[in-house]
């Protein structure tokens, strides 16, 4: 099997409407369909029917916990550092950011949604700039912006295979 890319993810959340609002306001997703207890979202410009499905399981559902089986996080790729900075600002306004990292191959912001589900928003560093000997380090977004600028498109945004 050759995987081309992840087509969509589906999450169980306490309230699909609340989570939908979060993903629309912070990451710019758009509602592609909604049913009682379920909302389907797609990223702007996506050719998918939906990129994220949200299913309500009720207000008493427990929060995800680290160290147990299950999904750790999803990673959403943006095309430019400017987009990453814009998303980081919206996430920061909501107090949702839980970390940031320079992974050498990507610059990443980590956040949690209203249910505590962790996700990553990342920008792919141009492959020619990868230092295969280096390890992840603290993200210095200002230094990354100075090096590559806010508008350099990489990954799928630059026409690279996903």
CATH architecture for segment(s) 1-57: Roll (3.10)
Q: Where in the chain is the domain with CATH 3.30.720.110?
A: 74-157
Q: How far apart are CA 58 and CA 131, in angstroms?
A: 45
Q: How far apart are CA 7 and CA 47, in angstroms?
A: 10
Please check the confidence at residue 35 and state whether its pLDDT lies above 80: yes
Q: What is the pLDDT of residues 60-108, one digit of tens each?
A: 998 888 888 788 889 999 999 999 999 999 999 999 999 999 999 999 9
Q: Where in the chain is the domain with CATH 3.10.180.10?
A: 1-57
Joined tokens for residue 1: 């099997």
User: 51 to each of 10, 65, 110, 148, how far by Cα in Å?
Assistant: 8, 24, 19, 28
Question: Which pLDDT score is estimated for 11?
Answer: 95
Please check the confidence at residue 159 and state whether its pLDDT lies above 70: no
Q: What is the mean pLDDT of the chain?
A: 91
The CATH classification number of 74-157 equals 3.30.720.110
What percent of the chain shows pLDDT beyond 90?
76
Confidence category of residue 160, pLDDT binned at 50, 70, 90: low
């Amino acid at each position: 099997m050759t995987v081309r890319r992840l087509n969509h993810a589906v999450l169980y959340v306490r309230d699909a409407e609340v989570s939908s609002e979060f993903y629309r306001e912070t990451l710019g997703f758009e509602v592609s369909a909604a049913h009682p207890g379920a909302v389907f979202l797609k990223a702007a410009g996506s050719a998918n029917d939906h990129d994220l499905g949200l299913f309500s399981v009720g207000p008493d559902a427990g929060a995800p916990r680290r160290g147990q089986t299950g999904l750790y996080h999803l990673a959403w790729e943006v095309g430019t550092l400017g987009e990453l900075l814009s998303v980081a600002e919206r996430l920061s306004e909501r107090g949702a950011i839980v970390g940031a990292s320079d992974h050498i191959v990507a610059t990443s912001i980590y956040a949690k949604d209203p249910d505590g589900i962790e996700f990553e928003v990342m920008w792919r560093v141009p492959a020619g700039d990868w230092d295969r000997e280096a390890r992840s380090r603290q993200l210095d977004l200002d230094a990354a912006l100075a090096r590559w600028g806010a508008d350099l498109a990489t990954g799928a945004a630059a026409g690279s295979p996903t």
